[in-house]
Amino acid sequence: MAENEKKRIDPRVLRTRQMLKEALIELLEEMDVEKITVNRIAERATINRVTFYLHYKDIQDMLEKMADEMAENVNRVMMRTIEQHKSGDRETLLLGLLEHIAANAKFYKVVLGSRRIPVFHERLRSVFVDKIKLGIEEIEEHNPDIQSDVAVWFGSAALIGTISAWLRNDMPYTAPFMARQFALLFKQR
């Protein structure tokens, strides 16, 4: 059932998109996003340049689609973590997220850790904003002087920014350690 939902896509399409994406990630490891052209992506992917346009409007469009996929994945991971542990416990939730990121570190380091690709940060931020909004009441009860939307801005920015820095520095700490750090840093009394 599950694999029929997306009514079977031609394997050639999957292959081409996969190769284009891998090529783009590779290039992003090597150069700034402004230096990347459709030419280069196609060449690296050993795909004809014209074929690129059969799949994406332009590079920006491609980045956005990849960012959407990333957001979906992150959402799914967080959902799954919650189900497995049957608790909205913040630390375990973060641990699930961080372990997913660590498992796909090559990708996330490029799109979040590196400079100059804001689409991914935007998408991830809106995922976090949604998640944080759900657990925000506690803060309001605890400290009524804190404006809830400011707290959401603060929390989501701190999360993304810290994770990005963690990736930029080649993850010097383990995922569980980072989850614990977040728990401590977010703790209000």
Partner DNA sequence: GACTTAATTTACATAGTGTTGGATAATCAA
Partner DNA sequence: TTGATTATCCAACACTATGTAAATTAAGTC
Q: Which does 157 bind (CB under 5 to 8 A by kind): a copy of itself, DNA, none?
A: a copy of itself
Q: Which of residues 49-108 bind a copy of itself (CB under 8 A)?
A: 60
Q: Which of 1, 4, 6, 46 binds DNA (CB under 7 A)?
A: 46
Long-range contacts of 172-181 (CB under 8 A, 24+ apart): 175/95, 175/98, 175/99, 175/101, 175/102, 176/95, 176/98, 178/94, 178/98, 179/91, 179/92, 179/94, 179/95, 179/98, 180/91
The smaller minimum CB distance to a copy of itself, of residues 107 and 120, is found at 120
Residue range at the interface with DNA (CB under 7 A); choices 23-31, 41-49, 74-82, 140-148? 41-49
Residue 12 as a binder of DNA (CB under 7 A): the answer is: yes
Residue 64 as a binder of DNA (CB under 7 A): the answer is: no
* Spatial distance between the Cα atoms of 15 and 85, rounded to a whole number of angstroms: 36
Q: At what angle do helices 175-186 and 90-103 cross, to 10 degrees?
A: 140
Q: What token pair was written down for 139?
A: 């803060």
Residue 154 as a binder of a copy of itself (CB under 8 A): the answer is: yes
Q: Which of 59, 71, 129, 157 binds DNA (CB under 7 A)?
A: 59
Q: Where are the alpha helices (DSSP H) in 135-174?
A: 137-142, 148-168
Q: Name the site residues for a copy of itself (rule: CB under 8 A).
A: 32, 34, 60, 115-119, 122, 125, 143, 145-147, 150-151, 153-158, 160-162, 164-166, 173, 178, 180-181, 184-185, 187-189
